Structure 1
Amino acid sequence: MIKVAVSGAAGRMGETVCRAVAEAEDMELVGRADPRLGTSVEEAIADAEVMVDFTTPDAAVGNARAALERGVHVVMGTTGADFAQLAGSGRANLFVAPNFAIGAVLMMEFARRAAPHMRECEIVELHHDRKLDAPSGTAKRTADLLRSAGANVHEPIHSVRLPGLVAHQEVIFGGLGETLTIRHDTTSREAFMPGVLLAIRRVRSLPERYVVGLERLLFD
């Protein structure tokens, strides 16, 4: 059994992660950290092997550092912070994913493959009105992948924040007399759970101490 703690456990994503971990046959939820629960990260990870973090950009780096220094592996779902500064720190592995939805990773992969053939493109990302960072981590990751494939990504990335949305992104390519749109829509937070559980299962055996992107677990 993989012993898991969740940081940000009282948030909407945190609550969803807690349910998914509790229902997984090979995992045990051993700690829930959140100021609203009166439980610190240090308390929550006391018996944990892996910590999953869905908090805020200003809290996530400190949370990850605290876990890594105690030998607890980290699955980071919070975006908008610089986690590269933690690469190789502590005594455990750090896995960071801008997006845990399998479909979102496929959307980025298909866009990356299209980029050499239709180089002009724009990114539009749409999220709920309580998301703190803009553009999203997924959009920035997509832009990096497209540029590495030779695309001319038009700036700025277009960010929409409205109630009623969950997480959505489209990459629009334009060519002579044609356009190509690759879009992914998340309609519930459960969509992220297969990717989160995959990361929990794999984070302890990563080939490197610091790994970014769910595609590293799906395609490598």
Structure 2
Amino acid sequence: MVGQAVTTRGVVTAVYATGGLNGYHVQTPGTGGELDPGAHDASEAIVVHSPDTVGTVRPGQHVEVTGAVVEYHGQTRISVRADGLRVLDEPAEAVKPAVVGCPAEEAEREDLEGMLLDPAGEFVITDNYDLNRYGEIGLAAGTTPLVQPTAVGAPGSPEAAAQAAENEARGVLLDDGATTDYGNVANAAIPLPYLSRETPMRIGAPVDFVAPVVLSYSFDAWRLQPT
């Protein structure tokens, strides 16, 4: 469908008007809630990239968007111009966050791409290296951080391959809903996301989600974006 013009309707679940993403997520009314990722076979949401309209929408609105389907760094989205958005007056059933654990299979993640989630189960911090650069924190589903594959076996060994597969199944990034480079001197005055004296973001620390997130994919990584 890449390159085709499409029209779709849905409820706005997240808006990223600042920070560089310039878009919002739209999901089919009434979807979400309790679901089984293994039985859920298609995403009910889409990313809308629209610098022209992102400042005019808000979460909870029922909208119709028209634009071209594009792929950007692995993310499927609709590119919408100023005349491609229509805010609808007709009521729409609210979207519920899907209560799911971290899907281990790539196909299961694709079937949830763009959707509003309430992550279930335990997560811990496994990587904070890019927190002070791109506002990203590596998370691992479960109670233990991920392990470097070569810490359990020689490069190319079955043990290292098995650990790499486990890391793929358990790992996901917590992003900050922006593309800001905090390492750039021009952004030095912008506070880092998530980090504070009360939340030092140490490796192995448990994670408590206090608000829903949306699942996205870009730059070769699955990400949880704040709402």
Note whether the superposition's TM-score is higher than 0.5.
no
Bigger-Rg structure (1/2): 2
Which has the larger helix fraction? 1
Which has the larger strand fraction? 2
